[in-house]
Homo-oligomer: A and B are copies of this chain.
């Protein structure tokens, strides 16, 4: 159980020396996920010693270059590394065509199953689910079709309360599975031992919401309500608020407002415009709305 989020790149627009475009590696409840994939992401994955091969799901928010120009290179590298396990790519309609065209031109078909899940709904939609996690889209408002993603752990099994189980000789190891799943224990004489007496409640499932790129959009608040970790873009400070309408980006203050409205536990800012050399100003501005604000930086790890 738990979330470990590694920021790979967190700046807007072009990759520059020491300023990489958006990419994040998320470990959530034993699932390994890549979120967005700007140019150079595969090098950043290597720098952060991320176990490449374990990534089975890639979620792409939108088809601006700073969020997906590194994808075809990463897929090609998976091929060169002789990957065999399947890879699922979720992203806007068009992503399949552009990746497969490049693989075709380079005659580099992958030996592993490469499965595209193209998105085109404007409603929040459950797009992936297994026994460990679920992933739901967060429709955003940007210059091209864009989704954020809500990653949620599934409620875990109950934990065995060994100090209560110990004195009951009839309970054997093979019964633990049923206990963890919430079943009561029936003794030979018909006595019922209630599950709550033998187990402890599971850990709270953790959640992470990734919201980039978007203009200020309070519609998303019900979707991300109460998440443990919210990444919200803050391309500008309020001094450039006039640019947010045309570019469909947010200010740090607006990100803080969303965090406050959604009552999240922690806000992470990122997608800084290259106009700003000192990113601490983003933190200060967002803190006028919401206290617990952290700055995304390449290599920084957030653990819940």
Contacts and interface: CB of A to CB of B under 8 A. Distances in A.
A214 to B, nearest CB: 16
Interface string A56-88: 000000011100011011001100100000000
Contacts of A268: none
Residue among A14, A76, A94, A107 with the most chain B CB within 10 A?
Answer: A14
B76 A65 contact: yes
Given A14-B77, A17-B46, A73-B14, A108 B65 contact: yes
A276 to B, nearest CB: 16
Contact of A14 (B76, B92, B144): B76
Contacts of A131: none
A141 to B, nearest CB: 15
A146 to B, nearest CB: 11
A291 to B, nearest CB: 35
Contacts of A14: 42, 73, 76-77, 80
A72 B102 CA distance: 12
Given A15-B40, A47-B17, A63 B105 contact: yes
A53 interface: no
A94 B98 contact: no
Interface string A15-26: 111000000000
A107 B15 CA distance: 19
A97 interface: yes
A183 B16 CA distance: 51
B17 A107 contact: no
A69 B77 CA distance: 12
A229 interface: no
A64 B103 CA distance: 9
A65 B69 contact: no
A50 to B, nearest CB: 13
A185 B143 CA distance: 66
Contact of A43 (B16, B65, B95, B105): B16
A70 B39 contact: yes
A188 interface: no
A15 B73 contact: yes
A209 interface: no
A8 interface: no
A17 B43 contact: yes
A191 interface: no
Given A65-B108, A108-B64, A43 B46 contact: no
Nearest to A19: B43
| Complex A-B, nearest 10 residue pairs according to Cβ-Cβ distance, in ascending order | A14-B77, A63-B105, A39-B73, A65-B76, A94-B105, A69-B73, A64-B106, A63-B106, A15-B43, A40-B40
Given A17-B46, A65-B72, 4 more contacts: A14-B73, A65-B73, A105-B144, A107-B144
